[in-house]
Chains A and B, each alone.
Chain A
Amino acid sequence: MTKRLVAVLVAMALPASVAAQTDVWPDPVVQEKAFVIPLWLPAFAGEGNLKPRAQRLEQIVLNDLGFTGLFNIQRDEPVATGMKGTNAVCVRGRVFLEGPDVTFEGTVTDIASGDFMGGKKYKVPDKELRRVAHHFADEVVRIVTGEKGMASTQIVYTRKVGDKWELVVSDYDGYDPRVLVRQAVPLLGPRWIDGNQAVVYTSFRDGKADLFVRYLGEDKSRGLANYSGSNTAPDWSGREGLLLAALSKDGDTEVYVLDKLGHIRQRLTHNRAIDTSPCWAPGGREIVFLSDRSGSPQLFLMERDGGNVRRLTFTGGYNASPAWSPRGDLIAFSTRMGAEFQIAIITPDGQDGRLITKDDNSYEDPRWAPDGRHLVCTARGRNETVSVVDIVTGGKRILAEGSDPDWSIP
């Protein structure tokens, strides 16, 4: 299996040619029969009182592997004709005692040849059971596809409970939500920073939009940027160790580069228009951002020093919230249609763009998963939810009630 797999699948989401006859992005393309690897996963083995642990591990691994969209998972013994001669794999797991320690061993074999492809053995203290399952699922993805799995990543998001705003961190699948901050004034736009050890967010704690940072090991947030005016829209570059932000300190909202202590390194935009929602390219050399300098909110690109500004989007009257894929090949964004938003993607050269969602819900503020194939966003239907969208299949799943999510990229 090749590393190109996801790149190929993602490229399928784009139109072969774009003929924009109306001022609307082309419709989503759904790959229902997206290329997948057949994977047989029989029940994990476990004797006696180890059986429940085996079942829980199996359930989590199944969910993790299913989430990726890379596999066609079978539970029953594969019919010989079905999987013979293909690249089908078998994943097995068993739980046993090694001395006093509950131990889990998982293996991956190639069905056609019977060859052992890889495996791992773990001690499983009860508190670590989910972590072990996630780690093994990532191992399966790595062994079979060469890709890095994302089962051990996390989501940060906000939610409104009664009249209080909360900042919440959970596993990428929505499990184990932990409230980091609860306050009586608005809190929004959290982003993972600094090796995913901390979250930066906008809060009205001091009466206006200021940036705060909360390290996960600590129980208090620290101020990061409280320049006069609004301090908003942070985006972190791990490669650069720098933060982009939109500050209105100099009269109107402009894009700045800050360090992780909040000191301004550089001002990037000098324009009477609104310039906001900056997002680093994964290499750190380019930035995509929102500006209404041409008369309506559109996406623009610039180099990391603010030079070579050029417009990216020319379709639709309101394109916002850009997010650059960690693979570098796509930019996701929200496009307004009527009173609501849908998610779209575009290539950084501006040549190919298409909707990813198109239904009665409103989808805002997409952020990429590490696989460059899934997006997490705020979906507004009857409720406001943190939802995940697969750009290849169009599949969606709800993770939690809440909004404004960000996904930790390892």
Chain B
Amino acid sequence: MKLKQLMVLAMVTSLTVVVGCGGKKAIDEPTPTDTSAAPVEEVKEQPVEQPVTPSTDMSPVSLNDVYFDFDQYNLSSEAKSTLDANARELKRMTEANITIEGHCDERGTKAYNLALGDKRANAARDYLVALGVGSSRITTVSYGKERPFDAGHDESAWAKNRRAHVVANQ
């Protein structure tokens, strides 16, 4: 449990630090949630590169991404389960604020995908707010198809890119 927390914290830290760097670098995937229908992901080991910045609460926030079907922004039942768990976590970690990034796969136009990314991020946010998470704690942003998690050109890559990526703000 401690190792998992450390890895999540390392990823969250490095993700917030690298905001502003573009490119098609694959971003490490978060720990998968335990649902049989969710895509199976490799959890990549990553050394802690950055010193941990002290904050008011040192325990890391464990949040997971939700995935979407092609051209869709409605939440599947798996997505809702993931968000249920995220909501529980956010109610436990009352100091934590989050950003939800909406992402799309490459098979749409840039403009439409920026809008679709907004829809996905907002769908995730609205669900969390309905569960009682304060809306002021959540920022949403869309990256459309401009920052894919997987730069491949097949369904396995596309599936990874159709997501709402949930990041704890530092």
Contact = CB atoms under 8 A, between A and B. Distances in A.
B107 A276 contact: no
Contact of A230 (B20, B21, B23, B142): B142
Interface string A275-298: 011000000000000100000110
A320 B108 contact: yes
Nearest to B147: A186
Given A188-B146, A207-B20, A252 B122 contact: yes
A341 B145 CA distance: 15
B103 interface: no
A290 B112 contact: yes
A232 interface: yes
A276 B142 CA distance: 14
Interface string B108-137: 111110111111001000000000000000
B141 interface: yes
A185 B21 CA distance: 6
B109 A320 contact: yes
> Interface extent on B, as a size class?
20 to 34
A246 B19 contact: no
A252 B118 contact: yes
A277 B116 CA distance: 13
A402 to B, nearest CB: 14
Interface string B12-48: 0000000111110100000000000000000000000
16 contacts: A184-B21, A185-B21, A186-B146, A209-B114, A246-B115, A253-B115, A274-B112, A274-B119, A276-B114, A276-B115, A296-B71, A320-B109, A320-B111, A334-B109, A339-B153, A341-B109
Given A163-B22, A185-B20, A204 B143 contact: yes
Contacts of A186: 22, 143, 146-147
B143 A277 contact: no
Nearest to A163: B23
A312 interface: no
B30 to A, nearest CB: 20
A251 interface: yes
Contacts of A139: none
Residue in A185, A246, A336 whose Cβ sees the most chain B Cβ within 10 Å: A185
B112 A320 contact: yes
A339 B109 contact: no
- List the 4 shortest-distance A-B pairs measured between CB atoms, nearest first: A253-B115, A163-B23, A186-B146, A274-B115
Given A188-B110, A277-B109, A339-B107, A252 B22 contact: no
A202 B114 CA distance: 11
Contacts of A227: none
Contacts of B20: 184-185, 207
A165 B110 contact: no
B109 A208 contact: no
A365 B22 contact: no
B142 A209 contact: yes
A92 B114 CA distance: 52
A205 B138 CA distance: 21
B122 A364 contact: no
A102 B24 CA distance: 51
A239 B97 CA distance: 46
A298 to B, nearest CB: 11
Nearest to A297: B112
B109 A321 contact: yes
Nearest to B155: A339
A208 B142 contact: yes
A290 to B, nearest CB: 6
Residue in A163, A209, A229 whose Cβ sees the most chain B Cβ within 10 Å: A209
B143 A246 contact: no
A53 B109 CA distance: 44
Interface string A142-169: 0000000000000000000001110000
Interface in A295-348: 296-297, 318, 320-321, 334, 336, 339, 341
A385 interface: no
Contacts of A253: 114-115, 118-119
B22 A248 contact: no
B21 A163 contact: yes
Contacts of B153: 339
Interface in A208-245: 208-209, 229-230, 232-233
A321 B119 CA distance: 19
Contacts of A164: 22
A146 B107 CA distance: 42
Contacts of B107: 336, 339
Given A207-B20, A252-B118, A274-B116, A233 B111 contact: yes
Interface string A167-196: 000000000000000011110110000000
Contacts of B25: 163
